[in-house]
Structure 1
């Protein structure tokens, strides 16, 4: 049995009685790689090498990829008798084949035993697959009906250029790892990129999709996100064939019928901007430090603050704007002589408190829009009624701004909602109760 398995590379060609050139001239030998469980080190891997050596043909394979043994969450061998067996079909039925595949790519270094824990599958599903799916859904919701992708489109927007550079850097590292047969290293890169795409690029680009100041803003963002999702679907296809196909089909690409018929992406070094990536990394570090200071002071992010001082050289204005908006401060000052890394002004003036109330109301209103599955083009009437007279006065004074930010045709303050309203709920904001009622009017 083992001699037969070791003879496989030669027996399949009836060597040496036929097809001698295929082996002797290295046409079909040695194999580029071999893949099996770690237990085959003394099995198939060994017999292949032994038979090939006896025939004076040298190494029968160029690379070895070895899978570790799957154990239960406690590190015990799985078996029916122990009652710790997990059936692959159950995992696939509940979470999908892509999730199961990707889990084994990323769980731990190749060839090491894998302690299978269902909680890890659930976390992967939520953090990676849900996030990726939501990114594609966001594009589908906010894209214009007449959108047409433009080949080699170039955006002037800094955030667009950053995410394109991140994508090309991802390509570079994934391709390099695959060439080195490092499947785990390649797969893990996708997790960070999808997080960057969703929780930084898309989140920071929402206004350009939802409320663009100029038409060019939305066009730049749309072309960029289309390109990133399309290239990502191709790059991810060998790892996660089903969700990659879903994204590809949703984008209506005219390249090929299926993502699996498209050539694997090629690297374009001209699109990589290492300096910009480093600047954005530093920007996000500043933001994270500042948000930690907010949390320490017990001040929510939606509450605007006056100023933050940062011990860094001043970057470009677009990056300064990103910091200011993310931290929700009116001014960002860069001071190299600062004693600590940053200094956050936590004083909340009456004007800042008022703005915080408005932001909170807008946030809750848009959450209700989402709960009602309203589309951006759906207009609404919204009624606010607070237990605080002062809050009602603030809302009345700012109702035009609230209408713009909540995509409302009419904003009314005070009074009771009649039965024509689709939804009503009460929220608590800074100790006061405010009722929000919404109805769709188109």
Structure 2
């Protein structure tokens, strides 16, 4: 197949070919970045929380009796909740992974690091210290959440305190590796929010923060044996997944029987799956919008390629007939239009590759999007090449069906 006739034909349609090439370039640049943004959103939405989510549900309780003993109230509530049919575990917690409400402490691996951070007036300076999320709850929190303890042990009953004067902690694997790189964190001491050492007695595999931040710190979390001591508390219940709705209704009724002087908002009664869905609602909506815009742009580009190819076939019917009359086969005609489309799309992809990085740089500046990985570009190129060949196939088949007798017709 000679490229010279194709290039000669394109040189006579510079404006039309250039406009289509520019459309392909813009499509390549936008679609590559859209797919990258979708991949980032999907990765975030599917982040493992570290907890066994299937059987978890929770309800919020806010006491309006300011004079009651809150610790005694929580203990009585938990005893009543554990008696609800279907409940296999019940604990009081201050917050949950993806629960939005987060407490955090500047945490250092040694007293020396803490002293340097205090002198620098920054816990985050030089990477000496980090600021992990802190979880507190009643006895049995690790088991109720379904956390995977990979080293050490759970808290003992005598280690739970009502205030912040804790002596032991359980760290997430990511936090342990950050504070003690290349070392065994078990048995080490951390300094969280003060100069008093807190001994590490356990390490869990994964534990997500209540409020996500940068990807590298989302798994920085630790558990304290710190009893919730507020009038407003979250009760976490574990049951069979199919029993969650029934358990929530019966649990709310039980709490009202134990103490009518409380508020249990309907919005605070939910399963963990519902809480997770609500947390990522904006992300899932954005994924849908990005998918719609990406497919819409590809569809418009395909229409442009098809429309232009149909126009050119109509214009070239006599020249196609002449080529057929002097020996060109249907396959030759089909390959002619496919090759012509391939050259135009390839030019658009080459320009689109540069535009993709320019657009990504703008997104990095305005929206803190990560740098576009290079492998998205060949994937985008393959998609556009395939789309171009499919879009031009119909007009090319019609061109191949032009009979040689058309060459004898007048212009």
- TM-score computed with the length of structure 1 as normaliser: 0.18
- TM-score computed with the length of structure 2 as normaliser: 0.19
Higher relative contact order (CA 8 A, sep 6+): 2
